A and B are shown apart, each in its own frame.
Chain A
Amino acid sequence: MAVHPFSLTLLVLFLLVGSLDGQAPDAHIDRSVLAAERAVREHACLACHRAEGAIAERLAPVPAPNLHTAGPRYTAAHLSGFLADPWKTKPGTRMPNVLAGVPAEERADSVEALVHFLASRGGKFDRSAIGADPREAELGRRLFDEIGCRACHHSVPGWRTRLAAKTNYRHVSDVIHNPAELFPSGFMPSLRLSEKEVRAIALYLLEDQSRDADGNPLVRMVTGLRERYYEGVFSNCGPDLERATPVRDGVATKIGLPVGHREEYFGVALDGEIDIPKQGIWTFTLTSDDGSRLWIDEAPVIEHDGMHSPSSASGTLELDAGWHSIRVTMFEYGGGEELSLLWSGPDQPNPAEIPVKALRVRSAAYQPSATDQKIDRTLRSQGQRLYLSLGCAACHDRGVSAERAPTLAALPAEAVGCLDPDPPADSRAPRFPLDPSTRDGIVALLRSRDAFRVPADDATRLAISLDSLGCKSCHAREGFGGPTADTYPRFTGTAELGDEGRLPPDLTGVGAKLRRDWIEKVIGVGAPVRPYMNTRMPEYSPEIASDLAELFHREDGGDDDGGIPAFTDAAVEAGRLLSGGDGFRCIDCHDFAGHPSLGEPAIDLATTGGRLQPKWYLEYMLDPQSKRPGTRMPSFWAEGIELFPDVLDGTAASQIAATWSYLALGDAAPLPAGLVVDRSAYDIIPVEEPILFGAFFEGLSGRVICCGYPERISIAYDAENAHLAKAWRGDFINARGTWEGRAGRLETPEGSNPFDFPPGDAVAVLAHPDDAWPKISGREAGWRHRGVRKDADRRPVFRRAHAASDTIVEEWITPRFSTAGASIVRNMVIVQGVPRGDAPADGGVGKRGVELRIATSKQIFTDENGFRTQEGLHLIIRGAEARIVEGSDGAELRASIPPGTHAIEVEVVW
């Protein structure tokens, strides 16, 4: 649709004035202005028509695909057809017909020269065939439809056929895997696909290469055997193994253990054909740990099954020369593993390994259609000159300037030259296939070009970015974009959640909803929080992510932390109650810190604080429909109804604020009651009460008692050396290393932010209170673990004793909630030199009292209510007088504890 140039200019000026005045620009931007600005950039007008200053920046050309490695990637036939008529070969391309201005009689020669040049860049076209399983392409089709490729890549009939004629597997998989390398525009994002997914999609896109001219599947023989690798607990090569789903399915080049197998609990099946060199009696020797089987020509030859240590079994049979089918299966339960197959037969009396060339397997194959392009050096030089003179390099090779084109300032504001829809016969200009409205828009832009001498305002930049980057293929914002009638049915997800479960979220007001750093994370590195949706959010460059996050925030109103509710332990407790099984039962629908919800998986609540702005959250909880029309999220505090009048003051405001305080703890939030935890899983998850776990522990000893508290604090107590060693927040322990197979691996904290207590003993007897802390410690120094008592909350109290100084220490941890990080109270009762029974009342070394070492650091400072270490620990000591002792290695926080019984509390915040 044409737009009157005058009104367009006015609108542009209006927008500029608006933003210059600092007023909010009109949310509704004329689409055709955006279209023209975007068209000038995307058609790279300024690559040839140079400009300076702000206008050059604003209308900077979008870089065209990198052609440095065109040779290995594109077939000569494609290059030739594309150069001769870009639109016919690739409908919709922005590539102009650069040869339109070349006299007709020279055109074919020019194309040929350019093809010779391009085909020579970066090496020969890669014609290698690859083997593939037809199921891979089927997976690729499903992924292409489901994860979002299809939202941008609308299918034009015949496009996959054209792609199959254009390129090869290597190119397509490279592009999917790392699009930025070939498309510097950044418009094609990465979807963070696994290798398997990349391969599947590439195989789907190139499916036409897997058929011959008559449409029959191409098949070829691949050297080696098809190897299916399984993981699972098998106790023989029987039906469990036969029915298992392979973890990997590929081609092995020898009969042996699969590469990259795990230590225990796996199986493998090798299938294919074996080439028997000479007719006669052949003996096969199968060696394995654990069991294995061999079939030849589908008949069992060796049955060496069951669990056993490495041992061999043989089978003998008569075989004709030539190819025979072979199948080997093997499983490994525990312990060592081994697999080999030897053969002996006519002319070959000694058992030998079977050479790889005697093994083959039939495989579906992909074969690019191209023939080798012989490069003519003269033509190549000619082509290189044309590449420069026609201006190709100006777009495809950044920084190479074009020749001859007038500057932007010198261009007439008319549809002439490149814009001429009906150019005169002698025009040398490249031909751009523009639709009339774009052409008119560009002419209008040229007419008012001075208005573009200032940077675009935020609204314009955001709108252009959302268009160019394809965001709007999936997301709507302010009534524009989102799924079209064509793409709407293609978005899939969790049916039970309706459109919410399958459509990417609306971006209206997103800058006021999400924290800026979260938006940047979502766009730049990915932060998938919608497990119910199949479409995946792609990954853009860090620059694009930062730019978009900033624009969203400036447009919608930035982070407003003013609304953060006051944090109190009571609020956290109330929030936990309301979220859990005895409250609003949020966990019925929402995951929590990685633990699945009781129903369909809505967004993980532990992401709340890192993801949402508190103001938005508070408003949303009051009235979810106002922010997300049609959402399934119930309105818990519907006006006038107090479902939990006894929690806090019963009001919506305080209860919603409490849920924020609680959820904002994120992964450190104690799990809500009612969450169902699988007791048999390796992840140990304290929900109702603390859980103890004994293990070998990295860096400590072979005898460590760990305790995970429901408050999401965990500690490690070294029982071998009788001291508290570590604390961390978040997840407790994954016990796989202690509970799987023969186990015995060294455990490490599962959560984050681990904190080491000062090394060695916390209590020592010193000749003088300020003496250096003893070098020997723990068991060596005479400390022995004496046991554990569980208090009324079933928290462990660790007891240790030092016989020589007649000292007993009982120690336990009380976790505390904290927004700043983790917080615990370290409680100690130190009993020393107290007469017991027949011991002398005043005797013994214990009479002197003991020293307690609370912290060590390079430097320790006092502050208003305690101490602070250089590493950021904050310490508040009760029940003892702490002092800073400067030593040669740094500072220590110590307290002198006189004989008798003393209770000391150390609050540690880190």
Chain B
Amino acid sequence: MVNVGLAVVLPLLFQVAPGVDDAPLPTEATYYRIVDLVAPEDIVLEVGGFHVAEGGVILVATRRGDIWRIEDAYGDAPVFSLWADGLQEPLGLEAYDGWIYVVTRGELVRLRDEDGDHRADRYETVCDDWVISGNYHEYAFGPRRDSDGNFWVTLNKPFGDEPFGKVDWRGWAVRITPEGKMEPACSGLRSPCGVEIAPWGDVFYTDNQGEWCPTNKLAHLEVGDFHGHPHGIESCKRPESLAPFPGEIPDGMLIPEVAKLIPSLKLPAVWFPYDKMGKSASGMAWDQTGARFGPFYGQCFVGDQHDASVMRVHLEKVGGAWQGACFPFREGFGCGITRVEWGEDASLLVGMTNRGWGSLGNRSYGIQRLVWTGETPTEIQTMTALPGGFRLTFTRPMNIETLAFPQNYTLESYTFRLHEQYGSPEFDRAQVMIAAARPADDGLSVDLSCIGLREGYVHELRAERIRSADGLPLLHPDAYYTLNARPTDDSAR
């Protein structure tokens, strides 16, 4: 049956458009190639953190507690040697002042090779002002050094037994001063697997869907924030806390309503709608490669630990706060991704481990690199808010006729509930009407006039029917804009 159908359809296609359609449609792989970084079989490379050093060297922290030094990391035969061991679930590396800073479950520690044998000889505790209750979920992520010299660390909340007793500061983002003092900065985090300093100096983190976290998100961390999870808010009452007690957290209200009730609730810059945009947001990296990684310079790439995929985020500041859109980017990695980092050659290093959590893919751990092939994909480059709609920009000139036709787009909005249940469905869904689509003359952007925009809602756009000037559909026709606030002045042309 199937065979017969194909036999009939294929010749027809050839007849209709032999010049274009005899080539298969491009896929993600056409533009971004996944390359294995081959490790010896007996190294369990469950990646917790990367440090990209010079001269083809990478340091990789593993969840088993080792740091491996990889020489010739971008070549065909990378060489592995053990750089450090005995660290308790190290989930991030940062180099500063000749030291490698590592965050482990219980401390921020810095390591150095003092005798030049490519092995760490000295581990110095920088800060261990938080303690752990002995629960597996008490991971610590980071460290990321801000422009004031503070190291930011996010502390997972426990999930289940706490054999050594409940402790403070779980579900917090803390900053550690250059003197090694911990300053608890933000409460309400759940499972904050990624923390990163944006190129402009702001601190962002990703969080994982679960109780009190309706879906995965990317949020700006500012001292005093509350991010929605009540687990650790009692710690706000301790004198060291820089975050005020947020008050009673209502169970089951829609997010925009909670925001009105709890002044310190920080809305995320981007919600990643569950299943559409991954299931477990993890590490992230802003593209600082110039144009060496393709047309997304300055944007943020976020790994997903379930979908074995990398997503793309574009942020803008509206009403004094960061918000923006996320887009699918590349899937098909070996397994769940924990860390992404730029390699020296402007490839994206992807560190993976799915231990303890299921993921797509056929491996359990490892490193892959994502390499731009040099061809530019047909993508929505940015989606930004206008007072009465959205502006889309494109990576390649688009067919203006297809851009100008409002029925070629669908837009709907929804929000989530903040509640104790694990994750939230999309609530209060509504269609947004696209009244007009006004393409720019160069075909590189279009302004959509919309009726029915709602603040505090995710706006999900689909644009399957628009085409590039040379006839290609969008590689990814969907985008998800988190419209916390609408801009007031029209910056459109």
Which A positions have Cβ atoms within 8 angstroms of B? 233, 235, 290, 307, 309, 333-335, 678-680, 691-696, 701-703, 705-707, 719-720, 735, 738-746, 779, 784-790, 794, 796
Q: A680-B41, A694-B86 are in contact. Are A335 and B131 (CB under 8 A)?
A: no
Pair A789/B122 contact, Cβ less than 8 Å = yes
Pair A787/B123 contact, Cβ less than 8 Å = yes
Partner of B131, one of A290, A691, A694, A702: A702
Closest CB in chain B relative to A738 CB, distance in Å: 8
Q: Does B42 contact A (CB under 8 A)?
A: yes
Q: Does B331 contact A (CB under 8 A)?
A: no
Size class of the contact patch on chain B: 35 or more
Q: B74-97, CB under 8 A of A: which get 1 and which 0?
A: 000000000001111100000000
Interface centre among A738, A743, A745, A790 (most CB of B within 10 A): A790
Residues on A with C-beta less than 8 A from B43 are: 679-680
Per the bound structure, the CA–CA distance linking A702 and B131 in Å amounts to 8
Per the bound structure, the CA–CA distance linking A359 and B467 in Å amounts to 57
Residues on A with C-beta less than 8 A from B21 are: none
Pair B134/A696 contact, Cβ less than 8 Å = yes
Closest CB in chain B relative to A746 CB, distance in Å: 6
Q: Does B344 contact A (CB under 8 A)?
A: no
**Chain B, Cβ-Cβ closest to A694:** B88
* Interface locus among B103-111, B198-206, B263-271: B103-111
Return the 3 tightest CB-CB contacts between A and B, nearest first: A692-B86, A744-B136, A694-B88
Closest CB in chain A relative to B457 CB, distance in Å: 26
Residues on B with C-beta less than 8 A from A679 are: 42-44
Q: A333-B358, A702-B138 are in contact. Are A707 and B64 (CB under 8 A)?
A: no
Per the bound structure, the CA–CA distance linking A692 and B125 in Å amounts to 16
Pair B42/A680 contact, Cβ less than 8 Å = yes
Partner of A742, one of B128, B356, B362: B356
Residues on B with C-beta less than 8 A from A720 are: 106, 131-132
CB interface residues, B 99-141, toward A, < 8 Å = 104-107, 109, 119-125, 128, 131-138
Which B positions have Cβ atoms within 8 angstroms of A? 41-44, 63-65, 85-89, 104-107, 109, 119-125, 128, 131-138, 163-164, 306, 355-359, 362, 364, 422
Pair B122/A787 contact, Cβ less than 8 Å = yes
Pair B123/A788 contact, Cβ less than 8 Å = yes
Closest CB in chain B relative to A230 CB, distance in Å: 17
Pair B136/A742 contact, Cβ less than 8 Å = yes
**Chain A, Cβ-Cβ closest to B65:** A694
Residues on B with C-beta less than 8 A from A745 are: 136
Pair B64/A735 contact, Cβ less than 8 Å = yes
Pair B163/A680 contact, Cβ less than 8 Å = no
Pair A741/B41 contact, Cβ less than 8 Å = no
Per the bound structure, the CA–CA distance linking A31 and B169 in Å amounts to 83
Pair B42/A719 contact, Cβ less than 8 Å = no
Pair B109/A787 contact, Cβ less than 8 Å = yes
Pair A691/B86 contact, Cβ less than 8 Å = yes
Pair B86/A707 contact, Cβ less than 8 Å = yes
Per the bound structure, the CA–CA distance linking A335 and B160 in Å amounts to 12
Pair A784/B106 contact, Cβ less than 8 Å = no
**Chain A, Cβ-Cβ closest to B41:** A680
Pair A746/B163 contact, Cβ less than 8 Å = yes
Residues on A with C-beta less than 8 A from B87 are: 694
Residues on B with C-beta less than 8 A from A790 are: 119-122
Interface on chain A toward B: helix, strand, loop, or mixed SS?
loop
Pair A786/B124 contact, Cβ less than 8 Å = yes
Pair B104/A789 contact, Cβ less than 8 Å = no
Q: 29 interchain pairs (CB within 8 A)?
A: A233-B364, A235-B358, A307-B358, A334-B356, A335-B357, A680-B44, A694-B104, A696-B164, A701-B164, A702-B105, A702-B106, A702-B131, A702-B133, A702-B138, A705-B86, A719-B106, A720-B132, A742-B136, A744-B134, A784-B125, A785-B107, A785-B125, A787-B109, A788-B86, A788-B123, A789-B121, A789-B122, A790-B120, A790-B121
Per the bound structure, the CA–CA distance linking A233 and B358 in Å amounts to 10
Per the bound structure, the CA–CA distance linking A379 and B337 in Å amounts to 81
**Chain B, Cβ-Cβ closest to A789:** B122
Residues on B with C-beta less than 8 A from A701 are: 132, 134, 164
Residues on B with C-beta less than 8 A from A680 are: 41-44
Residues on B with C-beta less than 8 A from A307 are: 306, 358-359
Per the bound structure, the CA–CA distance linking A260 and B279 in Å amounts to 31
Interface centre among A702, A739, A746, A784 (most CB of B within 10 A): A702
Per the bound structure, the CA–CA distance linking A498 and B65 in Å amounts to 45
Per the bound structure, the CA–CA distance linking A692 and B136 in Å amounts to 19
Closest CB in chain B relative to A7 CB, distance in Å: 70
Per the bound structure, the CA–CA distance linking A787 and B107 in Å amounts to 10
Per the bound structure, the CA–CA distance linking A334 and B44 in Å amounts to 18
**Chain A, Cβ-Cβ closest to B162:** A702
Partner of B356, one of A691, A743, A788, A789: A743
Residues on B with C-beta less than 8 A from A794 are: 119
**Chain A, Cβ-Cβ closest to B90:** A694
Residues on A with C-beta less than 8 A from B65 are: 692-694
Per the bound structure, the CA–CA distance linking A376 and B438 in Å amounts to 106
Per the bound structure, the CA–CA distance linking A515 and B431 in Å amounts to 86
Per the bound structure, the CA–CA distance linking A564 and B433 in Å amounts to 94
Per the bound structure, the CA–CA distance linking A307 and B306 in Å amounts to 10
Residues on B with C-beta less than 8 A from A233 are: 364
Interface centre among B125, B355, B359 (most CB of A within 10 A): B125
Residues on A with C-beta less than 8 A from B357 are: 334-335, 742
Pair B131/A693 contact, Cβ less than 8 Å = no
**Chain B, Cβ-Cβ closest to A743:** B136
Given contacts A691-B85, A790-B119, could you give 9 more A-B pairs where the C-beta distance is less than 8 Å?
A: A307-B306, A696-B132, A701-B164, A739-B63, A743-B356, A784-B125, A786-B124, A787-B122, A788-B86
Closest CB in chain A relative to B167 CB, distance in Å: 9
Per the bound structure, the CA–CA distance linking A719 and B121 in Å amounts to 18
Residues on B with C-beta less than 8 A from A779 are: 131
Per the bound structure, the CA–CA distance linking A745 and B134 in Å amounts to 8
Residues on A with C-beta less than 8 A from B138 are: 702
Partner of B355, one of A692, A703, A741, A785: A741
Pair A786/B125 contact, Cβ less than 8 Å = yes
Pair B107/A703 contact, Cβ less than 8 Å = yes
Residues on B with C-beta less than 8 A from A787 are: 109, 122-125
Partner of B86, one of A235, A693, A702, A789: A693
**Chain A, Cβ-Cβ closest to B359:** A307
Pair B136/A789 contact, Cβ less than 8 Å = no
Residues on A with C-beta less than 8 A from B135 are: 702, 744
Closest CB in chain B relative to A390 CB, distance in Å: 68
Per the bound structure, the CA–CA distance linking A742 and B160 in Å amounts to 12
Per the bound structure, the CA–CA distance linking A743 and B44 in Å amounts to 15
Residues on B with C-beta less than 8 A from A743 are: 136, 355-356
Per the bound structure, the CA–CA distance linking A789 and B114 in Å amounts to 10
**Chain B, Cβ-Cβ closest to A788:** B123
